Each structure stands twice: as structure tokens, then as C-alpha cells.
Amino acid sequence: MPVLDHDGFVLYETQAILRYLDRVLPSPALTPADAKAAGRMDQLMNICDWYLFQGVANVIGFQRVVKPRLMGQPADEAVIAQAMPKAQAVFEELSRLLGDRTYFAGDAVSLADLMIAPQLDFFTLTPEWAPLTAQRTNLSAWLGRMSDRASMNATTWERIAQLAAA
């Protein structure tokens, strides 16, 4: 569970942490000023939590990435196969909502992009990535832009393994 301790103020839950940091850190703002773009960002953050993570990334990402890399155990192919229809539906909706925009809520990175990127990045390490993005090239291009960011490059499996071992 992500936890933030900022000068004695302890906060947990990813969305709460992200929104708090967006309020207290200097610009650029990660919440769009436009109400419709901010609403789209909020919608996508909820899609990430309730549909992309729940039953898709927490299943496929865990089975393909976490379980073998951190636990030394093989993936359960039946569990992955059961999650794929939901994965197809979620990837389709993400692709539709992204459309031809540079980022999910417009021309600038938003909190939605920062939540979705690590989830999709897990999928690039799986054989499921290719069929999930074959007809959704906008998601691959978007993840490429996100992967060019310093914050994405600073998050490595070595660092995650160190944190998991601590």
C-alpha cells in the first residue's frame, strides 16, 4: 500500500497521495485547469483503479512479472486466460479515450497518465502486450512518450526488488 509521510502528515491511497502532491508541489500542475479535461482525468484514474488494476493488471502483471521475478514461481496460465477478456475490454476503452491526443487528458501529462503508465508498463514485460495493443497503436505510442520521462526511467526492477526485500 502506498503511504506518504510529508512533514508528519501521513496519507495513504494512490489517488489521495497524487492529488495532495499536485496541490503542494510547484508547477506544472498535473490536474488540467479545464473542467472537462479534469473530469476525463478523474474518470481515467477510476478506470485505472477499478478496471485496469482490479482483475487485469493485478492478475496478469502479478502472474507474469511479480510472481516469477520476486517470488520465483511460475505463472498460472489458466488465471491469465480468465483475465484476458476483461483486459481486452479495458485496453479497448483506454485506447478509445486516448484517441489521437498526446496524453489522456489533453496535451500535457496529468495524474491519469501517471497512474496508468506503470500499469501498462508491466504489460510490456508480458506476452499479452502484443495482442492487447496490436490494434491499439495509440497506447503503445503513448507509453513510449511516458517511458521517455525521467520518473519512469528512475523506477527499475532492481529498485523495486530492493524495496520488497526491505
Asked if residue 126 and residue 52 are part of one domain, the reply reads yes
Q: What is the pTM of this model?
A: 0.89
Reading phi first (left if > 0) and then psi (alpha if -120 to 50, else beta), residue 9 is in: beta
Domain that holds residue 2: 1-30
Asked if residue 47 and residue 12 are part of one domain, the reply reads no
Asked if residue 59 and residue 2 are part of one domain, the reply reads no
Asked if residue 19 and residue 52 are part of one domain, the reply reads no
Instruction: Please tell me the total count of domains within the chain.
Output: 2
pLDDT per residue, tens digit, the chain (166 aa), is 678 899 999 999 989 999 999 999 988 999 999 999 999 999 999 999 999 999 999 999 999 998 998 899 999 999 999 999 999 999 999 999 999 999 999 999 999 999 999 999 989 999 999 999 999 999 999 999 999 999 888 877 677 777 777 7
Asked if 142 and 98 count as a contact pair (C-beta separation under 8 A), the reply is yes
